[in-house]
């Protein structure tokens, strides 16, 4: 069927006429038997492979290029910053590479008519689920509620409480800032089976990566290379169900150091085209550390993921082209390569797989006409059966349950191709050729499991041969059609069927309707071709000219007849003119229409009435075609305008007669100004006959501009540049004549600008110029900066230094442009000083050290050289107390006086359980309480009191509000207190130990019948459980 006809047939509700003239209402039915096309774009996952020891093949994955492994067109590189447009993930077993041939798709059963499938458009959101997730795109900058995001710590569980019915709880945001760069793994642990998902974003809200139902479970895991100190944001949600609560965790990922692939238990043979290629039984044994025991993981089907987020997968390669796990393979030899994180395993060998041609149909269940009991289906892939029709024609397959499936058959090249598929149906039709072998696959779970074969189910299937249309013949010759009006001609045709019978000749009006054949339920529709072989829909008007008409049902096409489209008044359907007043005995045929014309004698309002025989009124448009009105619409006409009356829709065996009454009324006009005219734009006035709701509009001419002596300055004159002014309309502000304004010669000096900054050595210079012309200029000087100097030793005081020791004096606080000119010692035999300020004590005594700046500024201090070591006289820079939360850190920065002291700084704590301190002065809060940190330098000490407050419980989870136990039974309460580092223990108490007891670990034991309250408490938080013992 042509797509143009399908668009016509599907466009809203259709009126469908059966072959015997019965009118059937079919809303939005889809009578399509169009071929469907589905392009398969395989997604291959890179990897490495190691085969069993029995495999003699020596080729390894590391010897091949990526293009050789996956094929130049099939390679699908993983990108961690891919656009986050969530799509529905289709079952790979239901995606086909071939073109779908024509096939009937019945659905809704009508009386005496076979089913016709209805396609219903369904809105699918960005994540492929209805109404759960919005679209994402890389770099889209999604809004992140930073203040609501929970900060994650390594190896800690944080709860995600979600509710898909509550917009504020549909998602949960977490943040994580790694202390060091590396690969990290985020993951969930949801046991509800509601399919959570997670998405990783940067601090700007740009999407980075998504984890979704990995490793064949209901949880997700994301691994990502992160940079130390950078904050990442993690958003979690769930696809199904309403409420769910599950923990979320982030860990430091580990990559395997050694991987072994074991394929000893894998099947190396598959039935080509039909059997999904899964390596069930394949295992990988992984070591993450030389000192740790290895871990073994088994493949379910496509891939698996370990605790650290490493992804293990495999795919099949033949002749440079790859296949995904689960794809049916074409005949031949394939090499299965295993991968870890899309990288090959060193020394791994490919596992050889044979895809063998399907043998005789005895390999498959043979389907017969009638009831077939115990037919198999599968939840993964398809269970295949064979059907060989004895005669060509339409066949109905009726299943006891709604299933998915597809049909395959041999093609001209001798291979197998998929020709049809269906989704969630209990019945379908298809035209089959006699003697041809058809493979029919069924997919989906049923109520009856096949106990002999895991993963397979049983259902009943009834196969019925249906008659179909084999021929259509049009008997009518050269009918007429009215141009620019929906086709109104009629045709007579007969239908022949596959069982040899033939319908009686029928007269069927062709007006864009789809006709359903009562015997087969097949749709018969018509098509028009113009002289250029352009196809036209029967539901639309056609222009004047000659057309070819043919009827078609699926692939059966009738003979062609000629249709001539003419203007209404040139066709045999035109019956004459009407007059004002009552027009009687207007004849029209049983099928089709008759047309009558009325010409307005004056400009007035006309009204019409009839006896129910007028279908529509047609008013010619100036550029061709007609305006369509009904009999109740008043006609506001001008003298000489015409209108056509279309009479029709009779259903008797003889012609019909109609009556048309034409009346007219003069207008009573009321005028209103709608838009006042402006200087340049015309206005609008409207006259209205309110009695008959008739409106006409007329233009009011523009008024023109009004300038007068109204001058406006649009560019003022400056000191050197002329200005400008213009005349301006007093109404619309439009410009008229323009003229110049002479310069005024008045300069406007701007702000001072420093052209040379003042320093300690030179004066500065400032200048300013005229901001208008830039010609006038003034300058002034800025005084030198006052010299300043700061030393890290007391100025004009004595500094003790130990004999034979050196010390460098640091200079700071110099004015801009200033620098050290020289250092000098009053006695170089006692202390020498370098140009960098380094002092060296050579013998005991006291000297004066002077530093001179280039600005002339000097500073001095005395140095007293002593044999004994310089001791600490004072410790400063230490606070008296500090409060730290558990796990937080604080660094001490003591200052020793004098700076030349030789004493070392030491730190100690009074209570290591409360706070610890290392040799660098770093304090770490360990537990609740108080500890004194002592800083010692020589004989001097300084102390700081560290207070670590107790972490209180804010919430308790994991406790049911009610529970029923039988006597003698036990139940363990798995309560959790939050935050997880709380200092308050969880306690359990029973209100009546004679009815039930509870241990300190939360284990309840039911003693005797009755009701009791179990209280779970941590600090001030408590939850009560009502326990009933039966």
Collapsing DSSP to helix, strand or coil, 470 comes out as strand
Quote the CA–CA distance of 157 and 885 in Å, as a whole number: 20
For 955, phi then psi, to 5°, come to -160, 145
Tokens of 69: 């492994």
Cβ(562)–Cβ(544) under 8 Å?
no
Q: Residue 898, preceding bond cis, omega within 30 degrees?
A: yes
Residues in the chain: 1030
Q: Identify any residues that bridge with 988 across adjacent strands, giving them in sequence order.
A: 1016
**Would you state the pLDDT for residue 936?**
96
Coil/strand/helix, residue 786: coil
Under 8 Å CB-to-CB from 337, ≥6 apart: which residues? 47, 48, 49, 61, 69, 314, 315, 316, 317, 344, 348, 350
The neighbour count for residue 881, using CB atoms within 10 Å, is 11
Q: ω into residue 979 within 30 of 0, thus cis?
A: yes
Looking at residue 513, its pLDDT comes to 61
**pLDDT attached to residue 399:** 96
User: Taking the CA of residue 527 as centre, how many other CA atoms within 13 Å lie in the half-sphere pointing to its CB?
Assistant: 20
Residue 479's SS3 state is coil
pLDDT averaged per 10 residues, the chain (length 1030): 32 33 31 33 33 38 42 37 36 31 33 33 32 35 86 92 85 94 86 75 87 49 90 86 85 91 86 83 90 87 82 89 85 91 84 82 84 90 89 90 91 84 90 90 90 88 90 81 76 85 70 72 84 83 88 88 90 92 87 87 88 90 89 87 84 69 86 91 86 79 89 87 90 89 84 91 91 84 93 91 92 93 94 94 94 94 92 93 93 92 93 95 94 95 94 93 94 94 92 95 95 95 95
Task: Identify the pLDDT of residue 125.
Answer: 31
How far apart (Å, rounded) are the C-alpha atoms in residues 916 and 906?
13
Predicted local distance difference test score (pLDDT) of residue 619: 93
For residues 325 and 302, the answer to whether their CB atoms sit within 8 Å is: yes
**Burial group, residue 785, by CB count within 10 angstroms (0-12, 13-18, 19+):** buried
pLDDT computed for residue 167 by the predictor: 78
Q: How confident is the model at residue 899, as a pLDDT? A: 87
**pLDDT for the residue 393:** 82
Long-range contacts of residues 323-326, Cβ cutoff 8 Å, at least 24 apart = 323/42, 323/44, 323/277, 324/42, 324/43, 324/44, 324/45, 324/92, 325/277, 325/278, 325/279, 325/301, 326/92, 326/93, 326/276, 326/277, 326/278, 326/301, 326/302, 326/380, 326/381
> What is the residue whose two structure tokens read 């030349």?
900
Looking at residue 620, its pLDDT comes to: 93
Find, among 34, 19, 1, 6, the residue nearest to 496 by Cα.
19
Ordered structural domains, the chain, with CATH: 150-252 (2.60.120.380), 258-356 (no CATH), 365-466 (2.60.120.1080), 469-568 (2.60.40), 573-610+633-662 (no CATH), 669-700 (no CATH), 790-866 (2.60.40.1080), 955-1029 (2.60.40.1080)
| pLDDT confidence of residue 78 | 37
What is the pLDDT at residue 938?
92
End-to-end Cα, the chain, rounded Å:
70
Q: What are phi and psi of 672, to 5 degrees?
A: -140, 135
898 touches 913 (CB < 8 A): no
């Amino acid at each position: 069927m042509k797509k143009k006809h399908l668009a016509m047939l599907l466009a809203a509700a259709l009126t469908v006429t059966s072959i015997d003239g019965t009118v059937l209402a079919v809303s939005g039915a889809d009578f399509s038997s169009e071929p469907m096309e589905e392009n398969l774009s395989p997604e291959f996952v890179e990897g490495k492979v190691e085969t069993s020891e029995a495999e003699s093949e020596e080729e390894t994955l590391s010897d091949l290029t990526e293009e050789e492994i996956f094929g130049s067109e099939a390679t699908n590189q993983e990108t961690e910053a891919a656009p986050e447009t969530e799509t529905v993930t289709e079952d790979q077993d239901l995606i086909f590479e071939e073109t779908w041939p024509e096939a009937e798709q019945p659905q809704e059963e009508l009386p005496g008519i076979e089913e016709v499938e209805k396609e219903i458009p369904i809105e699918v959101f960005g994540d492929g689920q209805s109404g759960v997730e919005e679209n994402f795109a890389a770099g889209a900058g999604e809004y992140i509620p930073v203040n609501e995001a929970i900060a994650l710590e390594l190896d800690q569980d944080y709860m995600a409480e979600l509710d898909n019915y509550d917009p504020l709880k549909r998602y949960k945001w977490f943040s994580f800032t790694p202390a060091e760069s590396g690969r990290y793994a985020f993951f969930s642990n949801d046991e509800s089976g509601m399919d959570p998902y997670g998405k990783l974003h940067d601090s700007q809200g740009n999407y980075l990566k998504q984890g979704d139902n990995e490793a064949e479970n209901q949880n997700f895991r994301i691994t990502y290379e992160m940079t130390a100190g950078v904050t990442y944001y993690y958003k979690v949600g769930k696809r199904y169900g309403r409420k769910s609560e599950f923990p979320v965790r982030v860990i430091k990922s580990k990559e395997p150091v050694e991987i072994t692939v074991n394929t000893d238990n894998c099947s190396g043979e598959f039935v080509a085209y039909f059997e999904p290629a899964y390596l069930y039984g394949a295992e990988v044994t992984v070591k993450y550390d030389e000192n740790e025991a290895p871990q073994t993981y088994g493949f379910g089907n496509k891939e698996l993921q370990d605790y650290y987020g490493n992804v293990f997968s495999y795919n099949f390669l033949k002749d440079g082209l790859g296949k995904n796990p689960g794809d049916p393979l074409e005949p031949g030899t394939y090499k299965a390569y295993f991968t870890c994180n899309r990288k090959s395993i060193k020394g791994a060998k490919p596992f050889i797989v044979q895809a063998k041609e399907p043998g005789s149909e005895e390999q498959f269940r043979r389907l017969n006409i009638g009831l077939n009991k115990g037919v198999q289906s599968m939840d993964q892939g398809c269970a295949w059966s064979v059907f060989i029709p004895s005669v060509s024609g339409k066949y109905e397959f009726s299943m006891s349950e709604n299933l998915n499936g597809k049909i395959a058959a041999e093609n001209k090249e001798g291979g197998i191709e998929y020709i049809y598929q269906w989704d969630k149906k209990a019945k379908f039709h298809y035209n089959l050729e006699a003697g041809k072998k058809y493979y029919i696959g069924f997919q989906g779970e049923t109520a009856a499991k096949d106990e002999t074969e895991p993963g397979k189910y049983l259902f009943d299937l009834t196969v019925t041969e249906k008659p179909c249309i084999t021929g259509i013949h049009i008997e009518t010759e050269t009918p007429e059609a009215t141009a620019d009006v929906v086709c109104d001609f009629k045709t007579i045709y007969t239908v022949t069927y596959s069982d040899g019978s033939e319908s009686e000749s029928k007269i069927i009006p062709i007006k864009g309707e789809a006709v359903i054949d009562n015997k087969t339920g097949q749709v018969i529709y018509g098509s028009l071709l113009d002289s250029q072989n352009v196809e036209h829909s029967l539901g639309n008007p056609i222009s004047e000219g000659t057309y070819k008409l043919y009827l078609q049902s699926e692939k059966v096409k009738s003979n062609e007849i000629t249709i001539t489209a003419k203007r209404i008044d040139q066709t045999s359907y035109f019956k004459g003119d009407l007059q004002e007043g009552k027009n009687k005995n207007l004849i029209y045929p049983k099928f089709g229409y008759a047309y009558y014309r009325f010409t307005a004698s004056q400009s007035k309002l006309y009204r019409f009435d009839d006896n129910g025989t007028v279908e529509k009124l047609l008013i010619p448009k100036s550029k061709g075609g007609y305006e369509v009105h009904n009999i109740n619409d008043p006609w506001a006409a001008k003298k000489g305008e015409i209108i056509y009356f279309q009479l029709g829709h009779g259903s008797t065996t003889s012609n019909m007669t109609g009556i048309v009454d034409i009346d007219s009324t003069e207008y009573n006009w009321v005028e209103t100004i709608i838009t006042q005219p402006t200087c340049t734009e015309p206005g609008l006035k409207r006259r209205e006959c309110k009695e008959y709701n008739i409106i006409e509009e007329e233009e009011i001419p523009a008024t023109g501009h009004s300038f007068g002596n109204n001058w406006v300055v649009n560019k003022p004159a400056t000191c050197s540049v002329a200005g400008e002014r213009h005349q301006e309309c007093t109404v619309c502000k439009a410009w008229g004549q323009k003229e110049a304004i002479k310069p005024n010669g008045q300069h406007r000096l701007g702000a001072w600008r420093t052209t040379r900054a003042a320093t300690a050595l030179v004066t500065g210079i400032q200048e300013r110029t005229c901001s208008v012309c830039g010609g006038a200029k003034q300058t002034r000087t800025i005084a030198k900066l006052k010299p300043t100097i700061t030393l890290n030793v007391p100025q004009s005081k004595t500094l003790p230094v130990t004999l034979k020791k050196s010390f460098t004096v640091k200079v700071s606080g110099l004015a801009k442009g200033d620098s050290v000119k020289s250092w000098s010692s009053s006695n170089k035999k006692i202390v020498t000083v370098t140009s960098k300020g380094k002092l060296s004590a050579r013998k005991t005594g006291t000297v004066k050290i002077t530093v001179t700046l280039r600005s002339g500024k000097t500073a001095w201090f005395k140095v007293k050289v002593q044999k004994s070591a310089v001791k600490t006289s004072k410790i400063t820079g230490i606070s008296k107390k500090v409060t730290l939360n558990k796990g937080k850190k604080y660094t001490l920065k003591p200052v020793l006086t004098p700076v030349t002291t030789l004493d070392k700084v030491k730190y100690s704590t009074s209570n290591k359980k409360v706070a610890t301190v290392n040799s660098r002065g770093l304090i770490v809060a360990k537990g609740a309480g108080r500890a004194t940190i002592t800083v010692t330098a020589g004989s001097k000490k300084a102390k700081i009191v560290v207070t670590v407050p107790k972490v209180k419980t804010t919430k308790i989870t994991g406790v049911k509000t009610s529970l029923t136990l039988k006597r003698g039974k036990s139940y363990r309460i798995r309560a959790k207190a939050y935050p997880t580092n709380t200092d308050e223990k969880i306690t359990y108490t029973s209100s009546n130990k004679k009815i039930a007891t509870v241990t300190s670990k939360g284990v309840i034991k039911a003693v005797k019948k009755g009701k009791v309250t179990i209280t779970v408490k941590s600090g001030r938080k408590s939850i009560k459980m009502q326990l009933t013992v039966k």
